[in-house]
Structure 1
Amino acid sequence: MHTSCKMVNEIIKITPYFIVFILIVGCNPFDSERVAKYEPELTEIIEFMADYGNVVLDANEDDRIAAEMRSMGIHYIVKNQTRNEDFSGFIEESDSLIIFIKKSQNLFQSERRIIYDFATKPRNFGNNETPNASYKIEQLNSRWYFSTTGFD
C-alpha cells in the first residue's frame, strides 16, 4: 500500500510539468498532423495577405497581424506572388506561395514551414526528402505542405 501512495505522489509532482509541456507543444500548427486543425486560422491570414505582392511579415516587427502570428507560434510569413529568389528553399522560392515559418530555437531543432500553394491550378510538388540538405517536405493535400529544414 505504501508503494502505491508513493507512486501517486510522484505522478502528482510530475503532472504540472507534463501539462505545461503539452500546452506549449500542442498550441501551434507546426506539425504535419496539426495543420488541418489550424486551417481556418491560417486561411484567415491567407485572405488578409491577398492584397500584398512579395512580402515578408515578421511577428516581432510588423503589427498588422503580429498577435495572430504569435498566438500560433509563427515567426515569419512569406508571400511569393512572383518567383522570389530572396527567399531560398527548394519549392519555397516558387511563385504563388504563402509560407508560415517557425524558426529553429537551437541547433538541434529544424525550422518548420507550412506552405500554402495559391496558384490558380494547384501544383503537385509531392513529397521529398533531401538528407544531405536536411530538408523534408510532405504534401498534406492539393494546396497544403509541411516542410522542415535543418542544418547541413
Structure 2
Amino acid sequence: MESRFNLFENEIGTKFAKRFAGTALVLQEASLPHSTQELMSLRASQINGCGHCIDMHTKEAEAAGESAVRLHLVAAWRESTVFTEAEQAALALTEAGTRLADAHQGVSDETWAQVRKHYDDDQIAALVCLVALINAANRMAVITHQKGGSYEAGMFKAALAH
C-alpha cells in the first residue's frame, strides 16, 4: 500500500501541518516529562494502528534515552512493572481519550482521580492536549497511508525549521 497523499506537497496541507506541528512544540515546552509524552504518543498510535507515528515516537523515545524494555511493554503497560504510577495514570488517560467510542462515558472518574493525584494543572493541560494532538496526527497519517519505517530521530524538528 502506497501513500495516498502528501500533505506537505499541498499548499493548504502545508499551512495546516506547520500550524499543527507548532502546537506540538508548545507541549514539548511543558513541564510534563518528555518520556511520558513519548510513551503516551506511542500508546495512542498503537491503538490507532498508525505505523508512521509508532515509528516516529519509538525512535524519538530511544534517542532521548528511553529503554527498549519500556518501549516494548507500552502495549501491555497494565501487565508490566516498569512504569511509575504517574506514567500508568497518563497511559490510562491516553487509552480512555483514544477509545472514546468504546467507552460510553469517556474517561472514568477513577482514571481522572489518578491523573489529578500525580500531575499539576499545567501538566494535566498538557496531558489532555497531547491525547487530542496525537489522535489527530494518527488520523491524518492513517487516512493518507503514511508508512512507518523510514523515520529518523530529529526529522520532525528538522522539518519545522524549514
Ranked by relative contact order (alpha carbons within 8 Å, sequence separation 6 or more), the top structure is 2
Q: Which has the higher helix share?
A: 2
Q: Which has the higher strand share?
A: 1
TM-score w.r.t. the length of structure 1 is 0.29
Larger Rg: 1
